[in-house]
Structure 1
Amino acid sequence: MIWSVSKHLVSIKPHPNADALEIAKVGANQLVVRKGEMRDGDTVIFIPKDSMLPEIMQPAFPYAREGRVRSVQLRGEISMGIALSLNDISTFFGEDTRNLLELADFGEDISALLNIEKYEPQVPSHMQGEVDPVPIHVYYSQHDCNQYGTYRDELDFTERVVVTEKLHGSQGIYLFNRTEGEQWDIRVSSKGMLRKGLILKQSESNTYWQALKNSGLTEKVSTLQGNAIQVFTEVIPVQKGYNYGESRVTLRVFEVRVDGNILPYDSPELAAFRDLWVPVVYDGKFGKADLYALSKGKELVSGQALHIREGVVVRPYIDRKADDGEWLKLKVINPAYKETGEEFN
């Protein structure tokens, strides 16, 4: 999801675990708010997590430690930022700023006007590298997960869904373009890099390139038909405390696109990928899945339950979009999982 501070209309839903709280859908984002604090159709300015608040706002939000907005879990639901009313804007920034924001388009990035910047964690040197722009002829897409609480009503109780373990690593994205015969042009990136239209130059010291080599992913891609293959993966182990039993860097696959089409995880074409797929914890009717229970417990990757799982991701078996155009790839975070604030993508 692209970071931006922007104006939105709010949609309110009940909180499933707390009568005094509600779920506010702000764009594709989820907030947990006091009941009655907002109403359907209210206009708000949304400040997402990992925003650095200007000094004038910081005393009003003491839980934003060192001025940084963080996600918080309230009665089992994630709240992903701060929403300000236009009256709040007048209080913090004055009437002139409010007047400008009233003229702004919904969804327009207004972070510069409010002097709000995005926090960028320090990326370890072995995950950095020299970069190139993605060639103009190379097709690629992004993968994001939205909060389950915001979009759960978009899923039908009778439809088939697939629930997989959400791994705590770093998203590695691999682009394969067929040349002559069975040869491939291979391009490697991360979620953060590809957002900027950048790919990592090949390097034996780079984590994402190491994961490609150690996993044997190229050989598996060679079993597929098609000219443009995009593989979304979680590179592990790269985050402190989550080694998944691996002594060297590798990856697990959670989505494969062939010429722009997403393949179901159990399609015959992906047979070669089975040993690299993220663990599937449920496959069946949505109405019979307890997503909150499935989000808890230990990791399944190692088979040894070495540490907690970060959570789960639920998606329709045949991928589709919500009414607002967002893909229905929805995450439920384990209540025992705590962000350190230094995670990187």
Structure 2
Amino acid sequence: MEINYERKVDHCEVSPYIKNVTIASIKHAENSDNLDSVSFHEMGWNCLVRRDSFKEGDVVLFIPPESVLPFELSEKLGVTQYLSKGKVRVTRLRSNRSEGLVVDKSIVESYIPFILKWEDLPSIIMGGKCLSQNEVNPYFEKFYKIPNILNEPFTFEVGERLFYSCKIHGTNARCGYLLHPHKGDYEFYVGTHNTIRKESENDLWWKVLDKFKGKLPKDVIYYGEIFGEGIQHLHYDRKEPDILFFNSATSGNYRTVEELLLDCLKYNLPCINFHEIEFEDLEQIRQLADLPSEYTKSHHREGIVLVSKDRPNVMAKCISMQYLLTKNRSERH
């Protein structure tokens, strides 16, 4: 089978969210005699389909937004012109928002292993050198890839206390004092999401995180987002790279938001703003994700990140629909 993509996808992984779902509700789309809007039991997305094509309880194959289709598949489905270089977009049609694709399983099934989950790349050139894994404490772990709550809508229980914060569109960073696996001494480690950086004055991550060297407690990893002009296409009115810490971990477990906040006060660390809520439903989360950004008036909020108050290992994100509707206009490929 020949597989080609219309964009660079070397950094993307196979999407785990191409799945059969059950139609929960159907309603006529606004301002259209030919379209219905459907929702699903297993996922939180809404999708436009041809009028009277389905009924409640039907099981269909669904492809969520931010999925990247092989060109051969998009051609067979007849949707190439509606995608952004192969990427499924959130679109608006006659005042109706369509979030994903309901597709013919007989056409798509053999292509499922080749449908990818899109991840934005930072615009910066990384450069610099990396440490090998045998030079690094095994607990200096990369941060969890947080799922979109619309892909996993049962992440939280109704009534559960959560903290939410603005999702910052930048590049992931981590740092911490941990025992060297061979020397037996504590060393200050700095990393991206996937790599551990060798100390260098020209390395972006060291430039931003070096000022915390000598200030942090031992055996705790701090995770933050570096953002500002030149990092991603959102600049947040920062001319120089900035960082906000959003999580921490020790011995392979994420710590509570309260523990992070105490550390940020004690060690003078810049921290993301957290807000406490009680989880109600997905509509509540969608509305919070679409609020204005707390960090700039120049562009919209990218979304929010949610963390359980009492189960700090349980997290989700929700991307702003307003952001998804507009970001394709300036998206880098």
TM-score of the aligned structures, taking structure 1 as reference length? 0.67
Identity %: 13
Contact 2:233 2:331 in 1 (8 A): no
Deviation at 1:131, TM superposition (A): 3.6
2:145 paired residue number:
144
1:272 paired residue number:
266
Counterpart AA for 2:213? T
2:213 paired residue number:
218
Contact 2:12 2:118 in 1 (8 A): no
Selected match of 2:301 from 306, 309, 321:
309
> Residue 173 of structure 1 aligns to a residue in which SS?
strand
CA distance in 2, matches of 1:16, 1:278: 39
Deviates more, 1:246-255 or 1:7-16: 7-16
2:224 paired residue number:
233
CA distance in 2, matches of 1:120, 1:152: 20
CA distance in 1, matches of 2:309, 2:96: 25
Deviation at 1:251, TM superposition (A): 1.0
Counterpart AA for 2:221? Q
1:10 paired residue number:
21
Q: Deviations over 1:222-272 (max 9, x none)?
A: 2x35x3x33221111144563334332121111111112212222234533
1:335 partnered with 2:327: no
1:199 partnered with 2:216: no
Deviates more, 1:270-279 or 1:44-53: 44-53
CA distance in 2, matches of 1:76, 1:170: 32
2:192 paired residue number:
189
Counterpart AA for 1:286? F
Deviates more, 1:28-37 or 1:286-295: 28-37
CA distance in 2, matches of 1:43, 1:3: 23
2:240 paired residue number:
248
Contact 2:124 2:231 in 1 (8 A): no
1:92 paired residue number:
none
Selected match of 1:283 from 276, 290, 303:
276
Q: Which runs of 5+ in 2 are unaligned?
A: 1-10, 31-35
2:169 paired residue number:
168
Deviation at 1:201, TM superposition (A): 3.3
CA distance in 1, matches of 2:148, 2:254: 21
Contact 1:126 1:206 in 2 (8 A): no
Deviation at 1:292, TM superposition (A): 3.3
CA distance in 2, matches of 1:276, 1:331: 23
> Residue 211 of structure 1 aligns to a residue in which SS?
helix
Deviation at 1:186, TM superposition (A): 0.7
Deviation at 1:301, TM superposition (A): 3.2
CA distance in 2, matches of 1:127, 1:120: 16
CA distance in 2, matches of 1:293, 1:16: 21
1:88 partnered with 2:83: no
> Residue 233 of structure 1 aligns to a residue in which SS?
strand
CA RMSD, 1 decimal? 4.3
CA distance in 1, matches of 2:204, 2:331: 17
Counterpart AA for 1:130? K
CA spacing shift, 1:25–1:206, aligned 2, 3 Å: farther
CA spacing shift, 1:260–1:84, aligned 2, 3 Å: same
Selected match of 2:88 from 61, 70, 89:
70
Q: Deviations over 1:119-161 (max 9, x none)?
A: 7877545434434443375231432232333444443332211
CA distance in 2, matches of 1:16, 1:262: 42
Contact 2:48 2:98 in 1 (8 A): no
CA distance in 2, matches of 1:269, 1:16: 49
Counterpart AA for 1:174? C
> Residue 287 of structure 2 aligns to a residue in which SS?
helix
Deviation at 1:297, TM superposition (A): 4.0
1:178 partnered with 2:169: no
Counterpart AA for 2:14? S
User: What is the correspondence of 1:103-182 to structure 2 with a 5 Å cutoff?
Assistant: 110-111=113-114, 124=123, 126-135=125-134, 138-139=138-139, 140-174=141-175, 176-179=177-180
CA spacing shift, 1:9–1:152, aligned 2, 3 Å: closer
CA distance in 1, matches of 2:130, 2:253: 27
1:94 paired residue number:
none
